[in-house]
């Protein structure tokens, strides 16, 4: 009972002390609780500035004042630019602001964008569904692809009573990044020369990747005197310039075309054309805004990219081990073929091969390294319209149950390929793969897939008689269709124009003929050039063989810099560290054993 009374006294003293501290803090500092601090006057004026239905702090924790330097998220590798392309603007004029967004993130980024209208300006239109909320135009969930410029446009009208000399300040923000633009208001007097009227149109609302567009630009001087002017055309991203006509000639500065000192008489009109093509990898629903300006006159055309069919992938991939069924303990070598379907060199390609269960890793080519669960390649390149073959060798484990399905999955640049092989007591080859890749009638291989200018390449042609009768008077022709390739060693072949020709009197059933020759690539070969050649075989006894089996087209790409061979540096360093660690461990154990024995 005495012990309980002492505990009650202790609790009473602690409670009284806590109450005293709380009362002292309230009188000196204020009531304890979560404090909200506004970083700008607009965030504490009791007005719903960003029109989101919430009033300022502490209720509205997302105050969007254009003067609040800490609003929203900061950084995040997002960059913003805004401009109307003008240094001065007349009262009553309608300039077009361009908001450019860029991100160097690895993945597409969704972001909210705001454009704060300058004083004396009224919004007329905004691209891509931008809505006016209070004093700002807002876009929600704008998608910005990595390393691509996303452009939004806002057309405004300047008040005809705007103060002459006023500085129009416009600002754009996205994810904490911001940019601004200033334009001076000048008086539109009766004696001022009226601006030109300008229009641009490609005649399309929607267009597909790789579709060619022809822009018609018309400059109208129907209400002005004789004059000279400078016209500028800015091509948007994802549009590749082909050519232009009209005027006295143009100069090109990156994506801008400039016609300088163009003369136009009073009351006349003049026209120009610009030809361009939409790039293959242009994202669907991207709006291509092409702007043309001449003085204060501005024209704009909008065309949206729309797929009728999916564009070809830049990379395709396949995998095959040549077997339908394999036995326990058998080694399987998978051929992974990367095919570049475009005219650009593919670089920094990463390939991951996730091995099937019931298998053990044995070996990989081209610098592939085992991570413990899969085989990985980093920094690969594939020539334009070329192929690259990787190999992985596995062993089927001895405990693999009969009937188990070995599923080998390989991934590269969002593409996936799968090979299935069943565990059986008898190995069964894949007859389709054998017929198409292992034993064709005609084959040609090179000792490399990419070359540098000035290198030599060694080719080998194989011809196998897969029929049950002799082939007679066989003629093999190899046409090297490039001015940059020269045969330096044809091994008994004869040059006939641009063709290297070999002749065989007879080739018996089951027999194979082959020849190796060397080609030198010219040192003047441009980077990215594709060297093509066509090999054909003809002769008596081949009448029943389809042309596809007697003809083969080969390609090899020319690159200035070849990728480093072997495993990645981090893998080699990791291996050396592991080796030294193992050596040190063995040495310590040996010393401990000697000490124990002594």
Q: For 452-482, what is each residue's pLDDT tens digit? A: 888 888 888 888 887 778 888 888 888 876 6
The per-residue pLDDT for 433 is 43
How many residues would you count in the chain? 598
The per-residue pLDDT for 435 is 37
At residue 386 the predicted structure's pLDDT band, cuts being 50, 70 and 90, is confident
Residue 29 has pLDDT above 70, yes or no: no
User: Do residues 388 and 361 share a domain?
Assistant: yes
Q: Which residue has the higher pLDDT, 263 or 135?
A: 263
pTM to 2 decimal places: 0.34
The answer to the question of residue 253 being in a domain is yes
**What is the rounded average pLDDT of the residues 310-338?**
84
The per-residue pLDDT for 348 is 82
Residue 59 has pLDDT above 70, yes or no: no
Residue 510 has pLDDT above 50, yes or no: yes
The answer to the question of residue 38 being in a domain is no
User: Do residues 60 and 172 share a domain?
Assistant: yes
Q: Which residue has the higher pLDDT, 159 or 18?
A: 159
Q: List, in order, residues 6 or more apart from 88 with CB less than 8 Å away.
A: 183, 184, 185, 186
- Overall domain count for the chain: 6
The per-residue pLDDT for 397 is 92
For residue 392, give the nearest of 412, 370, 407, 371 by alpha carbon.
Answer: 370
User: Do residues 300 and 346 share a domain?
Assistant: no
What residue spans of 402-447 are helical by DSSP H? 431-433
User: Do residues 328 and 275 share a domain?
Assistant: no
What's the CATH code of the domain at 524? 2.60.40.10
pLDDT tens for each residue of 348-364: 888 999 888 889 999 99
Burial class of residue 461 in the structure, from the number of CB atoms within 10 Å of its CB (0-12 exposed, 13-18 middle, 19+ buried): buried
Q: How far is CA 474 from CA 100, 395, 425, 533, 541, in A?
A: 64, 42, 43, 19, 9
User: Do residues 203 and 122 share a domain?
Assistant: no
Most confident of 174-178, 275-279, 314-318, 426-430: 275-279
Q: Which residue has the higher pLDDT, 388 or 560?
A: 388
The per-residue pLDDT for 80 is 93
User: Do residues 471 and 409 share a domain?
Assistant: no
**What is the rounded average pLDDT of the residues 200-223?**
88
Poorest-pLDDT segment among 225-234, 275-284, 319-328, 484-493: 484-493
Poorest-pLDDT segment among 461-470, 501-510, 517-526, 550-559: 550-559
The per-residue pLDDT for 467 is 79
User: Do residues 225 and 292 share a domain?
Assistant: yes
Residue 273 has pLDDT above 90, yes or no: yes
Last residue of a domain, one of 305, 337, 361: 305
For residue 234, give the nearest of 284, 200, 263, 208 by alpha carbon.
Answer: 200
At residue 21 the predicted structure's pLDDT band, cuts being 50, 70 and 90, is low
The answer to the question of residue 8 being in a domain is yes
Q: To the nearest whole number, what is the mean pLDDT of the chain?
A: 78
At residue 259 the predicted structure's pLDDT band, cuts being 50, 70 and 90, is very high
d(CA 25, CA 426) in angstroms, rounded, equals 85
Q: List, in order, residues 6 or more apart from 460 with CB less than 8 Å away.
A: 444, 445, 446, 514, 515, 516
d(CA 333, CA 85) in angstroms, rounded, equals 60
What's the CATH code of the domain at 135? 2.60.40.290
The answer to the question of residue 192 being in a domain is no
User: Do residues 391 and 367 share a domain?
Assistant: yes
The answer to the question of residue 159 being in a domain is yes
The per-residue pLDDT for 153 is 87
User: Do residues 465 and 399 share a domain?
Assistant: no
Q: What is the dihedral of CA 103, 106, 112, 116, to 10 degrees?
A: -10
**φ, ψ of residue 152 in degrees (nearest 5):** -120, 150
Query: Would you give the distance in Å from CA 139 to the centre of its chain?
Result: 24
The answer to the question of residue 46 being in a domain is no
At residue 262 the predicted structure's pLDDT band, cuts being 50, 70 and 90, is very high
The per-residue pLDDT for 117 is 93
**Residue 25 is part of which domain span?**
1-31
The answer to the question of residue 77 being in a domain is yes
Query: Would you give the distance in Å from CA 101 to the centre of its chain?
Result: 16
User: Do residues 499 and 529 share a domain?
Assistant: yes
Last residue of a domain, one of 375, 402, 437: 437
The per-residue pLDDT for 552 is 72
User: Do residues 473 and 522 share a domain?
Assistant: yes
What's the CATH code of the domain at 237? 2.60.40.740
User: Do residues 460 and 553 share a domain?
Assistant: yes
The answer to the question of residue 202 being in a domain is yes
**What is the rounded average pLDDT of the residues 514-518?**
84
Q: What is the dihedral of CA 398, 404, 405, 411, to 10 degrees?
A: -50
Token pair recorded at residue 487: 């045969």
Most confident of 71-80, 271-280, 491-500, 589-598: 271-280
């Amino acid at each position: 009972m005495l012990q309980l009374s002492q505990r009650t006294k202790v609790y009473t003293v602690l409670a009284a002390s806590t109450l005293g501290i709380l009362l002292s803090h309230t009188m000196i500092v204020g009531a304890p609780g979560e404090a909200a601090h506004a970083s700008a006057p607009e965030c504490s004026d009791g007005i719903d500035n960003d029109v989101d239905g919430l009033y300022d702090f502490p209720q509205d924790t997302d105050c969007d004042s254009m003067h609040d330097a800490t609003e929203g998220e900061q950084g995040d590798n997002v960059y913003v630019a805004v401009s109307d392309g003008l240094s001065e603007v007349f009262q009553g004029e309608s300039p077009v602001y361009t908001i450019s967004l860029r991100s160097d993130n690895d993945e597409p980024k969704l972001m909210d964008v705001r454009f704060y209208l300058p004083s004396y300006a009224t919004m007329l239109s905004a691209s891509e569904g931008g809505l006016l909320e209070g004093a700002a135009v807002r876009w929600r969930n704008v998608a910005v692809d990595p390393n691509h410029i996303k452009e939004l446009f806002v057309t405004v009208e300047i008040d005809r009573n705007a103060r002459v000399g006023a500085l129009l300040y416009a600002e754009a923000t996205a994810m904490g990044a911001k940019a601004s633009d200033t334009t001076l208001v000048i008086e539109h007097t009766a004696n001022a020369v009226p601006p030109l009227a300008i229009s641009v149109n490609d005649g399309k609302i929607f267009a597909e990747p790789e579709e060619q567009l022809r822009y018609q630009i018309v400059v109208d001087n129907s209400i002005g005197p004789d004059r000279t002017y400078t016209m500028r055309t800015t091509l948007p991203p994802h549009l590749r310039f082909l050519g232009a006509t009209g005027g006295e000639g143009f100069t090109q500065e990156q994506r801008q075309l400039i016609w300088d000192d163009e003369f136009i008489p009073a009351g006349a009109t003049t026209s120009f054309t610009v030809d361009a093509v939409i790039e293959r990898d242009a994202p669907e629903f991207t709006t291509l805004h092409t702007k043309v300006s001449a003085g204060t006159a501005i024209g704009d055309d909008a065309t949206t990219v729309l797929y009728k069919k999916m564009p070809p992938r830049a990379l395709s991939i396949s995998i095959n081990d040549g077997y339908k069924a394999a036995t326990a303990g058998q080694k399987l070598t998978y051929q992974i073929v990367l095919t570049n379907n475009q005219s650009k060199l593919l670089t920094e390609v990463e390939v991951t091969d996730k091995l099937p269960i019931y298998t053990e890793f044995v070996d990989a080519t081209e610098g592939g390294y085992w991570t413990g669960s899969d085989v990985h390649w980093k920094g690969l390149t594939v020539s334009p319209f070329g192929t690259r073959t990787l190999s992985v060798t596995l062993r089927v484990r001895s405990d693999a149950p009969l009937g188990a399905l070995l599923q080998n999955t390989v991934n590269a640049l969002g593409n996936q390929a799968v090979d299935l092989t069943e565990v059986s007591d008898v190995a069964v080859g894949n007859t389709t793969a054998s017929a198409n890749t292992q034993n064709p009638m005609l084959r040609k291989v090179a000792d490399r897939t990419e070359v540098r200018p000035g290198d030599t390449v060694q080719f080998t042609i194989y011809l196998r008689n897969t029929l049950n009768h002799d082939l007679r008077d066989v003629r093999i022709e190899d046409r090297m269709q490039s001015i940059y390739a020269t045969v330096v060693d044809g091994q008994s072949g004869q040059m006939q124009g641009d063709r290297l020709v070999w002749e065989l009197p007879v080739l018996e059933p089951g027999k194979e003929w082959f020849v190796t020759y060397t080609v030198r690539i010219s040192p003047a070969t441009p980077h990215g050039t594709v060297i093509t050649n066509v090999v054909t075989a003809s002769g008596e006894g081949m009448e029943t063989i389809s042309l596809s089996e007697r003809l083969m087209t080969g390609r090899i790409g020319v690159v200035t810099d070849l990728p480093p061979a072997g495993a990645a540096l981090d893998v080699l360093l990791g291996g050396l560290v592991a080796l030294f660690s193992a050596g040190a461990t063995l040495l310590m154990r040996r010393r401990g054993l000697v000490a124990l024995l002594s």
